[in-house]
Amino acid sequence: MQALISLSTVSPSSPAVARSDRAVGSFSTNASKPSSFRFCGLRREALGLSITKPHGSSRVALSQRRFYKKFSASLKDNGVPSKGFDYDLVIIGAGVGGHGAALHAVEKGLKTAIIEGDVVGGTCVNRGCVPSKALLAVSGRMRELQSEHHLKALGLQVSAAGYDRQGVADHANNLATKIRNNLTNSLKALGVDILSGVGTILGPQKVKYGKVGFSDQVITAKDIIIATGSVPFVPKGIEVDGKTVITSDHALKLEFVPDWIAIVGSGYIGLEFSDVYTALGSEVTFIEALDQLMPGFDPEIGKLAQRVLINPRKIDYHTGVFASKITPAKDGKPVIIELIDAKTKEPRDTLEVDAALIATGRAPYTKGLGLENINVETQRGFVPVDERMRVIDKNGNLVPHVYCIGDANGKMMLAHAASAQGISVVEQVSGKDHVLNHLSIPAACFTHPEISFVGLTEPQARERAEKEGYEISIAKTSFKANTKALAENEGEGLAKLIYRPDNGEILGVHIFGIHAADLIHEASNAITLGTRIQDIKFAVHAHPTLSEVLDELFKLAKVNSSVSSPVNEPVAV
Amino acid sequence: MASSIVFRVSPTYNTISFSSSISNGLPLPSRLSRFHIRPRRKIPTVHAKIREIFMPALSSTMTEGKIVSWVKSEGDVLSKGDSVVVVESDKADMDVETFYDGILAAIVVGEGETAPVGAPIGLLAETEEEVAEAKAKAASSKTGPSSPPPAAPSPPPPSPAPSASSPSPPPQSPSPPPVYDGPRKIVATPYAKKLAKQHKIDIGLIVGTGPFGRITPSDVESAAGIGPSKSSISNVGSANASPSPAPPVAATATAASASPAMPPPIPGSTVVPFTTMQAAVSKNMVESLSVPTFRVGYSVTTDALDALYEKVKPKGVTMTALLAKAAAMALVQHPVVNATCKDGKSFTYNSNINIAVAVAINGGLITPVLQDADKLDLYLLSQKWKELVQKARAKQLQPHEYNSGTFTLSNLGMFGVDRFDAILPPGQGAIMAVGASKPTVVADADRFFSVNSKMLVNMVPSVTCYFFFP
Rank A183-187, B53-57, B289-293, B319-323 by mean pLDDT and report only the highest.
A183-187
Say if residue B38's pLDDT is above 60. Answer: no
CB contacts, 8 Å: A474 with chain B:
26
Is A59 domain-assigned? no
Q: Are residues B414 and B311 part of one domain?
A: yes
A465 and A519 fall within a common domain? yes
Query: Which CATH number characterizes residue B134's domain?
Result: 2.40.50.100
Q: With respect to residue A24, please indicate whether it lies within any of the assigned structural domains.
A: no
Same domain? A474 vs A544: yes
Res. A31 pLDDT band, cuts 50 70 90: very low
Which residues of chain A lie closer than 8 angstroms to B190, CB-CB? 260, 283-285, 314-316
- Whether A265 has a binding-site annotation, put simply, is yes
Q: What is the pLDDT of residues B389-418, one digit of tens each?
A: 888 887 777 778 888 888 999 888 888 888
Specify the DSSP element, H or E, that contains A189. Answer: helix A165-190
Tell me the residue range of the domain where A153 lies. Answer: 87-232+363-430
State whether B213 and B300 are in the same domain: no
Whether A93 and A219 share a structural domain: yes
B81 and A311: CB-CB below 8 Å? Answer: no
Q: Are residues A369 and A347 in the same domain?
A: no
B355 within 8 A of B407, measured Cβ to Cβ: yes
Candidates B81, B191, B212; nearest CB to A352: B212
Domain that holds residue B61: 51-140
Report if residue A1 sits inside a domain. Answer: no
**What mean pLDDT comes out for the span A499-513?**
95
Q: Are strands A506-513 and A450-455 parallel, antiparallel or unpaired?
A: antiparallel
pLDDT by residue (tens digit) across A243-254?
999 999 999 999
Same domain? B359 vs B429: yes
Residue of A nearest to B26 (CA): A476
Q: What is the pLDDT of residue B29?
A: 43
Q: Is B152 on the interface with A (CB under 8 A)?
A: no
pLDDT tens, position by position, B204-220 = 888 888 888 899 998 88
pLDDT of A556? 93
Residue B179 belongs to a domain: no
We report the CATH number of the domain holding residue A520 as 3.30.390.30
Q: Looking at residue A411, which CATH number applies to its domain? A: 3.50.50.60
Q: Quick one: pLDDT at residue A147?
A: 85
Task: Verify that B318 and B213 share a domain, yes or no.
Answer: no
Same domain? A350 vs A406: no
Cβ–Cβ under 8 Å, residues B352 and B429: no
pLDDT of residue A471 exceeding 90: yes
Instruction: Indicate if B81 and B195 belong to the same structural domain.
Output: no
Put simply, whether B173 touches A (Cβ < 8 Å) is no
Average pLDDT (B57-85) is 78
Q: Are residues B104 and B204 in the same domain?
A: no
Q: Are residues B407 and B340 in the same domain?
A: yes
Q: How far apart are the first and last CA of chain A?
A: 37
Name every chain B residue with its beta carbon within 8 A of the beta carbon of A348: 180
Whether residues B336 and B448 fall in one domain:
yes
B267 touches chain A (CB under 8 A): no
Residues A411 and A369 in one domain: yes
Q: On the CB side of B303, how many CA atoms lie within 13 Å of its CA? A: 8
Note whether A517 and A401 are same-domain residues. Answer: no
From CA A421, how far away is CA B318, in angstroms rounded?
68
pLDDT tens-digit series, residues B92-115: 567 777 878 888 888 888 877 888
Which pLDDT value is given to residue A25? 38
Q: For B439-451, how does the pLDDT look when each residue is reduced to its tens digit (9 = 90+)?
A: 888 888 888 888 8
Q: Please tell me the distance in Å from A556's CA to the nearest CA on chain B.
A: 7
Q: Are residues A505 and A528 in the same domain?
A: yes
pLDDT category of residue B172 using cuts at 50, 70 and 90: very low
- Asked whether residue B231 is domain-assigned, the answer is no
DSSP string, A133-158: HHHHHHHHHHHHHH-HHHHHHTT---
Give the Cα separation of B248 and B240 in Å (integer): 10
Mean pLDDT of the residues in chain A: 85
Distance between CA atoms of A344 and A341, rounded to whole angstroms? 5
Instruction: Tell whether B31 is within 8 A of chain A (Cβ).
Output: no
Q: Are residues B194 and B309 in the same domain?
A: no
Which CATH number belongs to the domain containing residue B204 in this structure?
4.10.320.10
Residue A162 has pLDDT above 70, yes or no: yes
Band (B1; pLDDT cuts 50, 70, 90): very low
Residues B219 and B92 in one domain: no
The torsion defined by the Cα of B193, B199, B205 and B208, in degrees rounded to 10, comes to -50
ipTM: 0.75
Residues A118 and A225 in one domain: yes
Q: How many CB pairs under 8 A join A and B?
A: 77
Are B62 and B208 contained in the same domain? no
Enumerate the β-bridge partners of residue A194: A114
**Residue B169 covered by a domain:** no
Query: Does residue A10 have a pLDDT over 70?
Result: no
* B199 backbone dihedrals φ, ψ, rounded to 5°: -95, 5
In angstroms, the CA B432 to CA B413 distance is 12
The number of distinct structural domains making up chain B is 3
State the total domains in chain A: 3
Final residue in a domain of this structure, among A430, A448, A468: A430
Asked if the structure places residue A27 within a domain, the reply is: no
- B5-19 pLDDT, tens digit per residue, is 444 433 333 333 333
Q: What is the pLDDT of residue B224?
A: 82
Please give the order of strands across the beta sheet that includes A494-499.
A443-445, A450-455, A506-513, A494-499, A473-478
